[in-house]
Amino acid sequence: MEFDNHSIKTSSDFRRSAREQLKGKWGNAVLLCLLYSIMISVVCGIIALIPFIGPIILILLVGPITLGFVTCFLKIVRNEPFMFENLFDGFNNFSSAVLAQLLITIFVFLWTLLLIIPGIIASYSYFLVFYILSDNPDLSAMDALKMSKKMMKGHKWKLFCLQLSFIGWGILGILSLYIGYLWLTPYMYASFANFYEDLKTNNLNENPTEYFVTV
């Protein structure tokens, strides 16, 4: 039997890869995360307060910005050059990004109405949606959700363990008056991008003609 090295990657493997890929790029990665946080937390937060049209504008912004953010981190882990303007690349696939964000919000909300745990599981099922859309801009939002759900089958616990592995760093970040989060945030997102890359490789090995384009 041929041994598949991709099946044994652990949280430490993803974190190790992230550290190597961020060498010489920490400054740009930190600034990228700051810009993303400002746009999502501050700008979108203010917009959401606008009566009537605020929530609608928010829906139109969050998906494309998140898609651009994910694209930047895929470029980082693939050792491809990126510019801060790439943060807005998601607007090039505006309709799919908006619809994907809307569908994720609706589905997770509906599952949460049943119980908290099903809602959490649903959020893990759709974790890869924007990574998939970044690699496949012609894919529909619904197909991206279906693909994410399929790829995450049997791997939700693996993602949970990866997220949990940062808890010590998170505590240190709090103790440092959140200054440590300047470095923790890009470290985490680079690790998540590596998690996606690993699942994508496994999926291509098992289903070489399904959805994915080569990048």
The domain in which residue 189 lies consists of: 17-206
* 193 pLDDT above the threshold of 60: yes
> Which segment of 22-31, 81-90, 130-139 scores lowest on mean pLDDT?
81-90
Within 10 angstroms of residue 54's Cβ, the number of other Cβ atoms is 15
Q: Tell me if 212 is assigned to some domain.
A: no
* 69 pLDDT above the threshold of 70: yes
Q: Tell me if 66 is assigned to some domain.
A: yes
84 within 8 A of 35, measured Cβ to Cβ: yes
The residue written with tokens 């945030």 in the block is 185
Q: Tell me if 21 is assigned to some domain.
A: yes
The residue written with tokens 């309709």 in the block is 95
Q: Tell me if 79 is assigned to some domain.
A: yes
* pLDDT tens track for 110-137: 988 888 888 899 999 999 999 999 999 9
Q: Is 69 left (phi over 0), alpha (psi -120 to 50) or beta?
A: alpha
Q: Tell me if 138 is assigned to some domain.
A: yes
What total of structural domains would you count in the chain? 1
Burial class (CB in 10 A: 0-12, 13-18, 19+), 155: middle
Q: Tell me if 4 is assigned to some domain.
A: no
Within 10 angstroms of residue 178's Cβ, the number of other Cβ atoms is 10
State percent of the chain over pLDDT 90: 65
The residue written with tokens 């694209």 in the block is 71
* pLDDT tens track for 133-174: 999 999 999 999 999 999 999 999 999 999 999 999 999 889
Q: Tell me if 213 is assigned to some domain.
A: no
Q: Tell me if 157 is assigned to some domain.
A: yes
Q: Tokens at residue 80, please?
A: 């491809």
Mean pLDDT of the chain: 88
